[in-house]
Amino acid sequence: MIVNAAEPVRSAESQLRAVPPHALQATARRLLADRFAAQEMVLLLADYGLTVLQPVTHLPHTDDPVPADDGPAGRAFVTQTPVIELTDAAATNLVHLPITVRGDRLGVLSVRLPGSATDPATVLQLAEFATALGHEVTTAGRDTDLYVQARRTRRLTLAAEMQWQLLPGRGCARQEYVIGAHLEPAYAIGGDNFDWSTSADHLTVTVTDGMGQGIDASLLTSLTVGALRNARRAGIGLADQACLADQAVYAQYGGKAYASTLLLYFNLDTGTVHAVDAGSPQLYRQRGAMIEQIELEAQLPLGMLEETPYEEQVFHVAPGDRLIAVSSGVHGAASANGDLFGPRALRQTLSATGSLPPHETARAVVSALTEHSGSKDLTADAAVVCLDWTGRGILPPHGQ
């Protein structure tokens, strides 16, 4: 059992921060051995498709991956709770600890401990250590490709490389909300994107679908997302953010290419949501057993015409509500016999996954979409953002 309680973990965090990015694993392994008598440590990172957990070893090679939704490590990743695996190896157990940074699930830390050292207090301290390591891995990503490369089961297309660099992460969590999101085809994504930004009292979420495919779509989406961020960071309203991004896209493409975007701005105190529907992404609300599409006024995509005016609409979310935003590659996908995914299959999937966390719901929607299309290779990009709303306890006006 660990010698002291909180102080060793704080000291470990300091030591992790002090080493160069490539030395994080060796330092973590030494700290775990010194403080927890750990005999083995493996850092597993989730791949881009969220199908496997990849061991971080000597790149470009990695050890064999393990499933991200099965087995002890997969259960820790899915449930976001530590899992103790009893082993036959000389009175030792494997402890699998989820690595999550502010709601963004990175992977799992697997640690082999003496069987006598897997008491609840030690597991709790190990979980805190895994979180500290996750923060350092995230920070190290600014300075090294090591951990980015380790997430790949194969090479990304250039368009996908650009799109993944644009993303804020694949999840975000605060007391007021939890977000889980997913993109497919993960290794060849072109024009779909999601983005969010949070402040003390507000949350902004966008889902963007750039016209076209491949590098052309990626360049268009990069411009659109950059323009939206630039406008948002200038502190202007949601409709004006859309207007400025619209002008930027039109100035570059002259109406020959455009981007469909859904913009949402949440008041964390009241649950009031301002929305701009500039194109094809759709929004659904799940409240209890009821699933409804939130009908927003369809306005022109960004960059289709010069100086398009945009107007905001308002609706409310209540504690316990779930919002699901999907790009056209989801709701507009057709099966072999021509049935669209959105009207029926999407609602069935959302109904079946209502008890799952947002990350798993987003992944389940993509899995159902793949089954609906009858092929593992989607013909269009697909973006899913799932948001569970807790809020701050102020109920919306009656009937909204």
**What is the tens place of the pLDDT at every residue in 197-235?**
999 999 999 999 999 999 999 999 999 999 999 999 999
Are the CB atoms for 109 and 122 separated by under 8 Å?
no
> pLDDT tens, 315-365?
999 999 999 999 999 999 888 788 899 888 999 999 999 999 999 999 999
Angle value at C-alpha 214, between 212 and 215, nearest 5 degrees: 105
- Name the least confident of 125-139, 164-178, 368-382: 368-382
Beta carbons within 8 Å of 368's beta carbon, 6+ residues apart: 341, 345, 346, 348, 349
- Find, among 157, 178, 180, the residue nearest to 167 by Cα: 180
Q: Residues of the chain with pLDDT > 70: what percent?
A: 94
Reported for 145-152, long-range contacts at CB under 8 A and 24+ positions apart, including other chains, are: 146/21, 146/22, 146/56, 146/59, 147/21, 147/45, 147/56, 149/59, 149/60, 150/45, 150/54, 150/55, 150/56, 150/59, 150/62, 151/45, 151/46, 151/47, 151/48, 151/54, 152/47, 152/48, 152/54, 152/187
Q: Torsion-angle region of residue 330: left (phi > 0), alpha (psi -120 to 50) or beta? A: alpha
**202: three-class secondary structure by DSSP:** strand
**237: three-class secondary structure by DSSP:** coil
54 DSSP β-pair partners: 45
**350: three-class secondary structure by DSSP:** helix
Are the CB atoms for 221 and 356 separated by under 8 Å?
no
Distance CA 127, CA 74 (A): 16
Residue type, 2: I
Q: What does pTM read for this prediction? A: 0.91
Q: What is the pLDDT of residue 2?
A: 47
Q: What is the pLDDT of residue 8?
A: 54
> pLDDT tens, 61-84?
567 899 999 999 999 999 999 999
Has residue 136 got a pLDDT over 80?
A: yes
Has residue 400 got a pLDDT over 80?
A: no
